[in-house]
Amino acid sequence: MENKPADSLSGDILTIPNLLTGLRIVLLPVFTILFLKEKYKASLVVFLIGGASDFLDGYLARRLNLRSRLGSYLDPVADHGSVILIYLMLTFATGFSFQIPLALFILIFARDLVVFVSELGVIKIRGLDQNWGPIYAGKVAICAQFICACTVVLANIFPQFFRENLNYLLWTVYVITGVFTLFSGLQYLNRGLDLWRERRKK
């Protein structure tokens, strides 16, 4: 995920981080098709590639000072789109041995909605170059959600093994993901309220 501090956004389009973010968006339908066709191993590989590109685009944007305006728009789309689409499938797709609990999906969806609205509010009120950037707890929550999704896909690759030996692991992952998601969502909500108060004072 790209950070977006002030006075560092360029108008460049064909940067390496932007291409990686574009790759992440392109991989979404690929993952969807593979998963629905029950090609779980291939879908897991695609999911891991998408996760690696998420890390790389942010790292390269900071390391090589390649933050751009296009990237600041594409990155949230790729992040939120990836999470919601993957969790939609892992929650509601039928015929699978293991699925994401509905309560966890609702929590993640609500949290992403809060984050998205918060980001839009910052851009509208402060301007694109003045975005506050991600909250550390939000990064942890995204990491937990990524691990959770990978675990569920793995459970569908080896359903008998998970059912007999690791069923407790799934529920542990669900709880940890839910806790971090809720905590980061509350932090983003508080930031949004701070922004609203800041605007009222002007």
List the alpha helices (DSSP H) in the chain: 16-36, 40-63, 69-92, 102-126, 136-157, 159-161, 167-201
Evaluate whether 89 touches 35 at the Cβ level (below 8 Å): yes
Q: What is the mean pLDDT of the chain?
A: 79
Asked if the structure places residue 44 within a domain, the reply is yes
Average pLDDT of the residues in 160-187: 90
Evaluate whether 36 touches 95 at the Cβ level (below 8 Å): no
Average pLDDT of the residues in 161-168: 85
Asked if the structure places residue 2 within a domain, the reply is no
Predicted pLDDT at 6: 40
* Whether the predicted pLDDT of 5 surpasses 80: no
Asked if the structure places residue 38 within a domain, the reply is yes
User: Would you state the structure tokens that stand for residue 111, as one six-digit string?
Assistant: 């949290």
Asked if the structure places residue 3 within a domain, the reply is no
Domain membership of residue 29 as a residue range: 16-201
> Which amino acid, one-letter code, is at 82?
S
* Whether the predicted pLDDT of 178 surpasses 50: yes
Evaluate whether 46 touches 155 at the Cβ level (below 8 Å): no
Q: Which of 22-26, 85-89, 174-178, 191-195 has the highest mean pLDDT?
A: 174-178
Query: CA-CA distance, 28 to 46, in Å (whole number)?
Result: 9
Predicted pLDDT at 118: 75
> Which amino acid, one-letter code, is at 55?
F
Counted domains in the chain: 1
Angle CA(172)–CA(175)–CA(181) in degrees, nearest 5? 140
Specify the CATH number for the domain of residue 81.
1.20.120
Evaluate whether 188 touches 114 at the Cβ level (below 8 Å): yes
Asked if the structure places residue 169 within a domain, the reply is yes
* Whether the predicted pLDDT of 104 surpasses 90: yes
Predicted pLDDT at 2: 42
* Whether the predicted pLDDT of 188 surpasses 90: no
The pLDDT tens digits of the residues spanning 56-76 come to 776 776 676 666 666 666 676
DSSP string, 110-147: HHHHHHHHHHHHHHHHH-GGG-----HHHHHHHHHHHH
Asked if the structure places residue 6 within a domain, the reply is no
Average pLDDT of the residues in 164-182: 91
Angle CA(144)–CA(147)–CA(183) in degrees, nearest 5? 10
Asked if the structure places residue 108 within a domain, the reply is yes
Asked if the structure places residue 106 within a domain, the reply is yes
Predicted pLDDT at 192: 75
Q: Comparing 4-13, 20-29, 57-66, which segment has the lowest mean pLDDT? A: 4-13
Predicted pLDDT at 12: 55
